[in-house]
Amino acid sequence: MKYSIVIVTYERLELLQKCISEIRSQSPNTPIYVGINGSDSKSAQYLQNIPQVTCKSFNKRTPGEVRNALIQLVETPWICFLDDDVIVSESYFQKAESILEMKSLEIFGGPDTSYPNEESIETAISLALTSPLATAHSKKRHTVSNDFNPNAKEQDFILCNLWIKTSIFHKENNSFDERFFRNEENVLLNKLLSSGKTAHYYGDLFVHHKRKSNLISMSLTVMKSANFRAKSFLLFPESFQPIYLVPSLSFLFLIYSAFYPNLIALLAISTYISCLLYFSWKICKDSSRMNIFFQVVLVQIIINLSYGIGFISPPKSTK
């Protein structure tokens, strides 16, 4: 085999079963390494009955620690990193195998999109994530398209759909930073791409990703992502990009404007609302989902506020 699959899971058996089932349907002989991150006997029992699956249980730790341990077991030239709550798209591995024929390639990946048959709020979250107002450049992580970028950036990739050559870990001693509960792939990719690694982004190589079922859990997830992104900038200042400050500055400006209303604040807020309505309308129109227009508007507002708050919160420590 040219590749193995690495998955980290914990108490999401139903989603894991769907994930493994589709992998086995498309690529029945591929080695799969699953790390159970905590006490989860149901998942362990299920995985024991799946051929070509190596299952290893860990005491609760960061996902990066689990992945690093599983990587050491891999014997194939490539590693495909998937999440336990994804379903790969039709012909996913057929497309990936054609990409693997390129000898000089070292990293590649594509976006995630809606999980099949999502509820309206989950669909609204998926659509909102494709808005530049909500996710800026990172919207490519969530937008299925025919785009191809032979010089992809760290912001193009998402860990639930990422392929990396095994030699980058085994021979070059790279690893996921074990101080991060989230965004550990961003730290690793920034290091690898800064060193000149070749990375391709394929907009049509996508996975279906289960979204949060309510706005509170989504908000907490966004805050955590922002917090660990800020932590990555503190630990690795050379990776900092000013655009990540925009949600926090906007949040602080909004608070200031509430106490000191002025014409500039009114114009700024009016501009934001106009952009919000325009992008929400365009997204919903293009996807023929105008029935959830107001949900898409609301989700974007929550993403902006949550990211702004999370980014300037005290950095979380995992060690």
Give the list of residues 6+ apart from residue 107 with CB closer than 8 angstroms, or none.
152, 157, 162, 163, 164, 165, 168, 189, 192, 193, 197, 198, 199, 200
As a whole number, mean pLDDT of residues 205-210 equals: 97
- Residue 319's pLDDT is 57
Contact 5, 32 (CB under 8 A): yes
Beta-strand pair 86-88/112-114: unpaired
Beta-strand pair 112-114/161-165: unpaired
Map residue 151 onto helix, strand or coil: coil
Least confident range from 71-75, 99-103, 195-199: namely 99-103
Q: Is the pLDDT of residue 268 over 90?
A: yes
Q: How far, in whole angstroms, is CA 159 from its chain's centroid?
A: 5
As a whole number, mean pLDDT of residues 245-251 equals: 95
Per residue in 76-97, pLDDT (tens digit) is 999 999 999 999 999 999 999 9
Reported confidence tier of residue 185, pLDDT bands at 50, 70, 90:
very high
Share of residues in the chain with pLDDT > 90 (%): 91
The structure tokens 């086995």 sit at 24
With b meaning 16 or more CB within 10 Å and e meaning fewer, what string describes 55-71?
bebbeeebbbbbbbbbb
Instruction: Supply the DSSP string of 34-66, one letter for each residue.
Output: EEEES--HHHHHHHHTSTTEEEEEESS--HHHH
Burial class (CB in 10 A: 0-12, 13-18, 19+), 24: middle
Q: Is the pLDDT of residue 318 over 70?
A: no
Q: CB atoms < 10 A from the CB of 177, how many?
A: 22
Q: How far apart are CA 31 and CA 1, in angstroms?
A: 8
Q: What value does the mean pLDDT of the chain take?
A: 94
The structure tokens 């708050």 sit at 309
- Residue 234's pLDDT is 92
As a whole number, mean pLDDT of residues 187-209 equals: 96
Q: Could you give the count of Cα atoms lying within 13 Å of 67 in the half-sphere of its Cβ?
A: 31
Find residue 88's DSSP bridge partners: 207
Q: CB atoms < 10 A from the CB of 143, how many?
A: 20
- Residue 316's pLDDT is 75
Per this entry, what is the length of the chain?
Answer: 319
As a whole number, mean pLDDT of residues 263-289 equals: 95
DSSP state of 77: S
Reported confidence tier of residue 1, pLDDT bands at 50, 70, 90:
confident
Per residue in 117-155, pLDDT (tens digit) is 888 999 999 999 999 999 999 999 999 999 999 999 999
- Residue 116's pLDDT is 82
DSSP state of 79: E
Burial class (CB in 10 A: 0-12, 13-18, 19+), 250: middle
- Residue 292's pLDDT is 96
Which pTM does this prediction carry? 0.94
Burial class (CB in 10 A: 0-12, 13-18, 19+), 151: exposed
Instruction: Determine the angle formed by the axes of helices 293-312 and 246-259, rounding to 10 degrees.
Output: 100
Q: Which residue has the higher pLDDT, 137 or 70?
A: 70
Contact 228, 316 (CB under 8 A): yes
Q: How far apart are CA 226 and CA 230, in angstroms?
A: 6
- Residue 20's pLDDT is 96
Instruction: Supply the DSSP string of 185-210, one letter for each residue.
Output: HHHHHHHHHHTT--EEEETTS-EEEP
Burial class (CB in 10 A: 0-12, 13-18, 19+), 49: exposed
Residue 207 tokens, joined: 């996975």
